[in-house]
């Protein structure tokens, strides 16, 4: 027995040391002139069917069109952000898309260390010579889906399930509320936040519970702005015979005929543009705010929800959209 253990130990130590040596030798630097885009996803993970997945789709589209592979990393804890960013830069990434406002501090720091690397920060503002930052007018898009919700609602009560109670989500909420009130002055928005930890973005079970309790209190439409938690919210809407509203990506296809619309946030376009412009040389630093006018946000209408949105509803929403674009209708954002 002892002998056998020792033998196994010796073998693995030997194998380990050989492998270590091999790996060190076999890790040459990337070619300097190669174009390597990179994405650093936030804690939700790239398959959250929502915010991060939109970024993933943008990167995939770039890859498909250009045939250029990209590097990626999914954050699992706070201290990895800076490290991941620096690693990408050091390993020769030409442009790095940092997905989510949580990356701001890391981008701020690492972009100064690597002035020749381009950074795209999504969801927060950062003014640096090699950083392009993009924020969205979520309140504008939410305003439109709020209008649709109010018009489709029979009870006059609509629900909202957020992820964590953070400024970004409050921005969704405030636009949504304004849109509801625009249609029905006495309309009521029942609001719940899923939790206080990052798990709140990935807790479909709790999302479903919250949605059901909102239905119990009279809501018949629920807007999920909670990452992967939203999938539970939408499922609950299907199960209860109510309607859900998707977020970030167009989620109408998730439950065709049961999702009134989706508040789309074109993170995919942003990520794609970021890589594309960096590739062809038209990339610019600076901050952009994109709203309805820039088609950075909007509501989704396709064959999956065509029957749910009546022509009257569509007309009203389109009108409001034009007014907002023209500046005649002011949607107030959340002020932190």
Partner 1 sequence: MARGMAGKGFGMPGEVPGWVNYALLPLLNLLAAFVLSGLVILVIGENPLDVLALMVTEAVGYPEAIGYTLYYTTSYIFTGLAVAVAFHCGLFNIGGEGQAYMGGLGAGLVGLAMTGWPWPVVAVAAVLVSALFGAAWAWIPGWLQARRGSHIVITTIMFNFIAASIMTYLLVDVLIKPGQQSPETREFDPGTWLPSMDRALGWIGIEVAPSPLNLSFAWALACCALFYLFLWRTRWGYEIRTVGQNERAAVYAGISPSRNIVLAMLISGALAGFVGVNEILGVQHRLLLNFTGGVGFVGIAVALMGRNHPLGIILAALLFGMLAQGGGQVSFEYPTVNRELVMVIQGLVILFAGALENLFKPQVEALFRRPPKKNEGTRNEGRA
Binding site for partner 1 (CB under 8 A): 1-2, 5, 8-9, 12, 15-16, 19-20, 22-24, 45, 71-74, 76-80, 82-83, 87, 91, 101-102, 104-105, 123-125, 135, 164-168, 170, 195-198, 336
Q: How far is the CB of 241 from partner 1 (least distance, A)?
A: 33
Q: Which is nearer to partner 1, 228 or 313 (CB)?
A: 228
Spatial separation of the C-alpha atoms in residues 36 and 97, rounded to whole Å: 11
Q: How far is the CB of 289 from partner 1 (least distance, A)?
A: 12
Q: Which is nearer to partner 1, 113 or 319 (CB)?
A: 113
Phi, psi of 132, rounded to the nearest 5 degrees: -105, 120
Residue tagged 């674009």 (tokens): 325
| Alpha helices (runs of H) in the chain, residue ranges in sequence order | 2-25, 51-66, 80-90, 104-113, 138-152, 167-183, 204-216, 229-239, 267-280, 311-326
Spatial separation of the C-alpha atoms in residues 99 and 157, rounded to whole Å: 34
Q: How far is the CB of 54 from partner 1 (least distance, A)?
A: 17
Q: Are 15 and 22 in contact (CB under 8 A)?
A: no
Q: How far is the CB of 276 from partner 1 (least distance, A)?
A: 22
Q: How far is CA 179 from the centre of its chain?
A: 22
Element (H, E) at 262: strand 259-265
Spatial separation of the C-alpha atoms in residues 172 and 193, rounded to whole Å: 12
Q: How far is the CB of 126 from partner 1 (least distance, A)?
A: 10
Q: Which is nearer to partner 1, 49 or 321 (CB)?
A: 49
Q: How far is the CB of 156 from partner 1 (least distance, A)?
A: 29
Retrieve residue 230's tokens. Answer: 């939203």
Q: Which is nearer to partner 1, 134 or 317 (CB)?
A: 134
Q: How far is CA 152 from the centre of its chain?
A: 26
Q: Which is nearer to partner 1, 87 or 323 (CB)?
A: 87
Q: Which is nearer to partner 1, 76 or 322 (CB)?
A: 76
């Amino acid at each position: 027995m002892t002998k056998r253990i020792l033998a196994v130990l010796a073998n693995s130590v030997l194998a380990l040391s050989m492998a270590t040596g091999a790996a060190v030798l076999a890790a040459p630097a990337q070619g300097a002139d190669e174009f390597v885009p990179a994405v650093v996803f936030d804690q939700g993970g790239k398959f959250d069917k929502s915010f991060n997945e939109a970024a993933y789709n943008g990167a995939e589209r770039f890859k498909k069109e250009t045939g250029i592979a990209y590097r990626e990393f999914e954050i699992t804890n706070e201290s990895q952000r800076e490290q991941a960013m620096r690693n990408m830069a050091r390993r020769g990434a030409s442009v790095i898309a940092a997905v989510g406002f949580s990356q701001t501090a890391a981008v701020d720091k690492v972009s100064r260390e690597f002035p020749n690397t381009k950074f795209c920060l999504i969801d927060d503002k950062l003014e640096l010579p090699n950083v392009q930052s993009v924020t969205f007018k979520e309140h504008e898009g939410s305003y439109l889906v709020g209008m649709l919700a109010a018009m489709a609602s029979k009870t006059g009560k609509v629900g909202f399930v957020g992820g964590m109670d953070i400024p970004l989500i409050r921005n969704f909420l405030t636009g949504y509320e304004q849109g509801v009130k625009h249609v029905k002055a006495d309309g009521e928005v029942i609001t719940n936040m899923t939790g206080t930890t990052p798990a709140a973005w990935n807790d479909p079970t709790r999302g479903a519970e919250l949605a059901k309790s909102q239905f119990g209190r009279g809501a018949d439409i629920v807007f999920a702005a909670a990452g992967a938690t939203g999938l539970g919210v939408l499922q609950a809407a299907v199960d209860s015979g109510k309607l859900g509203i998707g977020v970030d990506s167009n989620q109408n296809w998730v439950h065709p005929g049961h999702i009134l619309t989706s508040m789309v946030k074109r993170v995919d376009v942003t990520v794609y543009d970021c890589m594309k412009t960096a590739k062809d040389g038209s990339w610019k630093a600076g901050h952009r705010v994109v709203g309805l006018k820039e088609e950075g946000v909007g509501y989704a209408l396709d064959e999956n929800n065509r029957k749910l949105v009546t022509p009257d509803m569509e007309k009203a929403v389109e009108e409001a959209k034009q007014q907002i674009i023209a500046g005649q209708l002011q949607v107030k954002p959340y002020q932190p």
